[in-house]
Amino acid sequence: GIETGIRLLDTMTGGFQKSDFIIIAGRPSMGKTAFALDIALHTAIDKKIPVGFFSLEMSQEQLVQRMLGMEAKVDLAKLRTGFLSDEEWAKLTAAAGKLSEAELYIDDSARLTHLELRAKARRLKSRVDVGIIFVDYLQLLDATAKADTRQQEVAIISRSLKALSKELNIPIVALSQLSRAHKTRADQKPILSDLRESGAIEQDADVVIFIYRKLESPDPKERNTAEIIIRKQRNGPIGTVLASFVEKYATFKNKPPDALTEGENP
């Protein structure tokens, strides 16, 4: 499978498997895009596997800037202003070299329909034998068929992405927003029914992963501890893995050993 680079998560999933439709979900600012970019960079740069990244929210320029900061470990705020030390410029130059050699294909067409995305994905597969595709994020894709409700529209899109993962025999990773239902619960950690317009996504996905951080906590250590929660895995265990979120680079890293909190078998 395709590894995420978060060791304990890879142990639980065996990596992202061929023909799997994987959902990574979370509320705004939890780090969904950062997590997807981390995996994309790890796959394209370290593992030399071609990656497709469909970004319906951020422009290619914004994405590349973020990836440079993540790969070079340069503070993103400084990167935006351009006030960098000589050492930081050197790190950036090295990261840019790695990125330019990596087979990472970004498509930032806004208002893409699911059929257009499938056509582009097929071309990527036949042209460069892409090994994994990311979609950021599912709710921004357009369903071409006329649906009566938003639920039906999302169902068409999620079914289409699942079919694509089987057809191309690669993992398709779609990011997803959450509904606001959690606001009324004492426990703020997301559950499957929080997936926005959720029924179909929950059914179609082979793996559902939530990213959760206590953003309201006054303790920075707590704010930057990410819970990576596997709520569904068709062929494996569910449970939670802890990772560190490094805010200034917007990147996730392994916590020291023994950070698996609550593995539970289905």
Predicted pLDDT at 177 = 87
Predicted pLDDT at 151 = 83
142, part of any domain: yes
Active site residue 264: no
Over range 134-156, report the average pLDDT.
85
Q: How far is it, in rounded angstroms, from Cα 175 to Cα 172?
A: 10
Question: The domain containing residue 180 runs over which residues?
Answer: 7-254
Confidence class for position 29, pLDDT limits 50, 70, 90: confident
pTM of the complete model: 0.91
Average pLDDT, the chain: 89
Count of alpha carbons within 13 angstroms of residue 158, beta-carbon side: 26
Cis peptide preceding 137, ω within 30 of 0? yes
- 181 or 192: which leads in pLDDT: 192
Residues 133, 124 contacting (CB under 8 angstroms): yes
180, part of any domain: yes
Name which of 5-14, 52-61, 253-262 the model is least confident about.
Answer: 253-262
Number of structural domains found in the chain = 1
Predicted pLDDT at 263 = 45
CATH code of residue 51: 3.40.50.300
1, part of any domain: no
113, part of any domain: yes
Q: Which of 57, 88, 103, 202 is catalytic?
A: 57
- 133 or 222: which leads in pLDDT: 133
